[in-house]
């Protein structure tokens, strides 16, 4: 039996639906996406509107007028929070598309072609894997102009290493299967085999990996913004935390300005993590019991169950 | 066999370091353009003063070849020998431990980094050791009690801990700790205090270390727990565990003598692979807690546009991670003889 028993995306979806954790993660992400898309409908204030404030409007406590209080500029934290989802999700989506494209291509090419191509590509991947990501991202963004496009490019161009390794090992195992060998024997071209035979079987793994790459990209973006390297024209969750942390929310006791943006990041990243974990289980079901577990299946069966089992024909399959 | 394995690993690590050095050099030369324009950007400087600075820092020399810049169109006459290029000077200075002069403090970068290196090692070390011990403990418990509420709770906790942004967890802990538990707001030691004895000094530092270490531990705990749990479940499903049970050994003996040794190997790999993330954690935690370490140095250098400091801190962090990785690989080969045979 192969390590992956899933054969198509359809079968994959049927297995996936049975995992409550993955469904919860999916729902959490959908809520975040809806909030981002419908931000103008949900947020009570426009974050870009010019407002006139007095000293009393700064860091006001949560009230009916401002559900989650105001920030250091007297702006509504709840509105900024809703709009902040747009930045995080945009970065997560586009950066992960870049990463997955690069990582997937390198992984498939390395795994399928083998030989010197594989050697060079995987050695390069190893180097990139060792260099610490975040400091490198910080250095590059600090040296270039911090704009949304630059941040997406830098995070995307550096986040492909784990995907490349995963995809390569999956490609290697698919390549060794009989139908691929037969396709090669009857003279199918390499691009054809990749498109027709390898890609469909590697795709489920790429989908799982995409979810995790998105969450890493979102974490990286928020960290960059918190360190003061975010796009200054956009108010992301990391940027909100940067303003709150560097402009006295700590001493003002304004927990609402510190907790709210972080909650947004955790919501989206946890959604991705739950979804990814559930997908992984659907894709690669593991034996979740072992010889020391005290489970009811291992305890002597009641007589009725034993009788039912005795009546059934013997079967070797365990699922 | 053993010597060639060691040499191969060592050569690979050195090659990676060389790659990082090149990357570090060219990133800083290519991206911002002229370092004098970006670093000594003061409009009050006269042309002569700018030229003097260029000469002092060797910036009048060509970058790597006889071209004026990396743009070949702007190439000048090819008269300079390769030993007078900026790249050669950079590598030569690196080999003598010279990382340049900080734009901000005017002190050697290597001295400033040296002061901070041990602070980072102290913090990362304490946090990692706690995370590994607690993570393994929880992982063993969860694997042993697989598919019980304890297992499920541990899983949920790990997934949540993994999803927390490190810097935000630090902020929340700092907020709660400084408000409700009277813990210091940051730094490594209370400034301007004459401590009566060594013990008072150490206890003051421990109070400063408590929250950053706690943040570190929570962030890394979850992943170690998940890995420990899943490998141990795999090991416990092996037939030799059933044999051990049939021999009449109790659970404690089986876990201690038969299962844990085999489950340790993936842990070593994960800890090694995590070193890059460890550094990312250091940047965030040291920033939030104003801890005077290398990660904090990166943050400060970015804010001050102190490029030599940024360049030096990045190089030191990258090289430390490469060496730590090498160490982990060698340790792995000691633990698992099958690796050496390949």
Delimit the domains of chain A by residue range.
87-265
- pLDDT attached to residue A306: 46
Q: Which pLDDT band holds residue A300 (cuts at 50, 70, 90)?
A: very low
Mutation target for A interface from B154, B167, B282: give the one with most A CBs within 10 A: B167
Are A133 and B280 within 8 A, CB to CB?
Answer: yes
Give the nearest partner residue to B276 out of A126, A133, A274, using CB atoms. Answer: A133
Q: How many residues are present in chain B?
A: 342
How distant is the Cα of B159 from the closest Cα of chain A, in angstroms?
Answer: 7
Report the first-to-last Cα separation within chain B, whole angstroms: 9
Q: Is A3 on the interface with B (CB under 8 A)?
A: no
- pLDDT attached to residue B214: 92
ipTM of the prediction greater than 0.90, yes or no: no
- pLDDT attached to residue A264: 93
- pLDDT attached to residue A317: 40
Furthest CA-CA distance within chain A? 82
Using 70 as the pLDDT threshold, list the residues of chain B that sit under it. 1-2, 30-43, 54, 56-84, 338-342
Using a CB-CB cut-off of 8 Å, the residues of chain A touching B163 are 215, 266, 269-270, 272-273
Give the nearest chain A residue to B169 (CA atoms): A262
Which of A32-36, A67-71, A264-268, B109-113 is predicted least confidently? Answer: A67-71
Are A223 and B284 within 8 A, CB to CB?
Answer: yes
Could you tell me the domains of chain B? 31-102 (no CATH), 109-341 (1.10.3720.10)
Which of A24-38, A133-147, B74-88, B220-234 is predicted least confidently? Answer: B74-88
- Percent of chain A clearing pLDDT 90 (strictly above): 25
- Give me the mean pLDDT over the A97-104 stretch: 94
Using a CB-CB cut-off of 8 Å, the residues of chain B touching A155 are none
How distant is the Cα of B279 from the closest Cα of chain A, in angstroms?
Answer: 7
Classify residue A76 by its DSSP letter.
B
Q: Is A306 on the interface with B (CB under 8 A)?
A: no
Using a CB-CB cut-off of 8 Å, the residues of chain B touching A266 are 160, 163-165, 168
Q: Taking Cα atoms as reference points, which of A33, A25, A94, A31 lies closest to residue A269?
A: A25
Mutation target for B interface from A91, A145, A290, A294: give the one with most B CBs within 10 A: A290
pLDDT one-digit tens code per residue, B283-306: 899 999 888 888 888 888 888 878
CB atoms within 10 A of CB A200: 13
How distant is the Cα of A130 from the closest Cα of chain B, in angstroms?
Answer: 6
Report, at the CATH architecture level, how domain A87-265 is classified: Orthogonal Bundle (1.10)
Q: Which residue has the higher pLDDT, B83 or A264?
A: A264
pLDDT one-digit tens code per residue, A178-232: 888 888 888 888 888 888 888 888 888 888 889 889 999 999 999 999 988 888 8
């Amino acid at each position: 039996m192969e390590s992956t028993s899933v054969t198509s995306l359809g079968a994959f979806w049927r297995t996936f639906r049975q995992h409550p954790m993955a469904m919860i993660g999916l729902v959490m992400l959908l809520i975040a996406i809806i909030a981002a898309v419908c931000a103008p409908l949900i947020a009570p204030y426009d974050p870009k509107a010019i407002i006139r404030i007095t000293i009393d409007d700064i860091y006001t406590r949560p009230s009916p007028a401002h559900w989650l209080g105001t920030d250091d500029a007297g702006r509504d934290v709840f509105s900024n929070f809703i709009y902040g989802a747009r930045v995080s999700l945009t970065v997560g989506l586009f950066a992960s598309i870049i990463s997955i494209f690069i990582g997937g291509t390198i992984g498939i090419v390395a795994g399928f072609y083998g030989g010197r191509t594989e050697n060079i590509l995987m050695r390069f991947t190893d180097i990139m894997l060792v260099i610490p990501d975040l400091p490198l991202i910080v250095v590059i963004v600090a040296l270039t102009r911090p704009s949304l496009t630059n941040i997406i490019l830098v995070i995307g161009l550096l986040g492909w290493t784990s995907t490349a390794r995963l995809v390569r090992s999956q490609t290697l195992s698919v390549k060794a299967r009989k139908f691929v060998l037969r396709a090669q024997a009857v003279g199918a071209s390499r691009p054809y085999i990749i498109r027709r035979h390898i890609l469909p079987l590697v795709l489920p793994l790429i989908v799982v990996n995409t979810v995790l790459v998105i969450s890493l990209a979102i974490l990286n973006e928020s960290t960059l913004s918190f360190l003061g390297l975010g796009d200054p024209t956009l108010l992301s969750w990391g940027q909100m935390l940067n303003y709150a942390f560097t402009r006295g929310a700590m001493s003002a006791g304004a927990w609402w300005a510190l907790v709210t943006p972080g909650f947004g990041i955790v919501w989206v990243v946890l959604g991705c993590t739950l979804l990814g974990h559930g997908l992984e289980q659907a894709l690669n079901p593991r034996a979740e019991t072992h010889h020391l577990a005290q489970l009811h299946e291992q305890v002597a069966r009641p007589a009725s169950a034993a009788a039912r089992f005795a009546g059934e024909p013997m079967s070797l399959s365990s699922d | 066999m053993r010597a060639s394995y060691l040499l191969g690993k060592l050569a690979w690590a050195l090659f990676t370091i060389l790659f990082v050095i090149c990357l570090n050099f060219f990133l800083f030369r290519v991206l911002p353009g002229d370092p004098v324009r970006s670093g000594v950007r003061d409009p009050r400087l006269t042309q002569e003063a700018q030229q003097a600075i260029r000469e002092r820092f060797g910036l009048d020399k060509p970058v790597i070849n006889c071209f004026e810049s990396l743009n070949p169109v702007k190439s000048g006459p090819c008269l300079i020998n390769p030993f007078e290029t900026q790249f050669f000077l950079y590598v030569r200075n690196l080999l003598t431990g010279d990382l340049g002069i900080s734009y901000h403090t005017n002190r050697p970068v290597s001295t400033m980094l040296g002061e901070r290196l041990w602070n980072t090692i102290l913090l990362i070390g304490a946090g990692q050791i706690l995370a590994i011990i607690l993570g393994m403990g929880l992982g063993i418990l969860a694997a042993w009690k697989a598919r019980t509420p304890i297992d499920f709770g541990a899983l949920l906790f790990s997934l949540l801990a993994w999803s927390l942004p490190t810097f935000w967890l630090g902020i929340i802990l700092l907020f709660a700790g400084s408000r409700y538990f009277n813990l210091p707001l940051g730094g490594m030691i209370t400034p301007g205090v004459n401590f009566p004895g060594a013990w008072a000094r150490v206890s003051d530092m421990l109070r400063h270390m408590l929250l950053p270490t706690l943040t570190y531990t929570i962030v890394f705990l979850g992943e170690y727990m998940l890995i420990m749990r899943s490998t141990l479940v795999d090991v416990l499903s092996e037939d030799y565990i059933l044999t051990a049970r049939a021999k009449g050994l109790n659970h404690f003996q089986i876990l201690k003598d038969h299962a844990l040794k085999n489950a340790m190997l993936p842990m070593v790999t994960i800890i090694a692979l995590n070193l890059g993330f460890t550094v990312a954690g250091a940047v965030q935690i040291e920033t939030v807690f104003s801890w005077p370490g290398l990660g904090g140095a990166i943050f400060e250098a970015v804010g001050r546009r102190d490029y030599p400091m940024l360049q030096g801190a990045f190089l030191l962090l990258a090289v430390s991670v490469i060496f730590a990785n090498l160490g982990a690989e060698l340790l792995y080969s000691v633990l698992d003889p099958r690796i050496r045979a390949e």
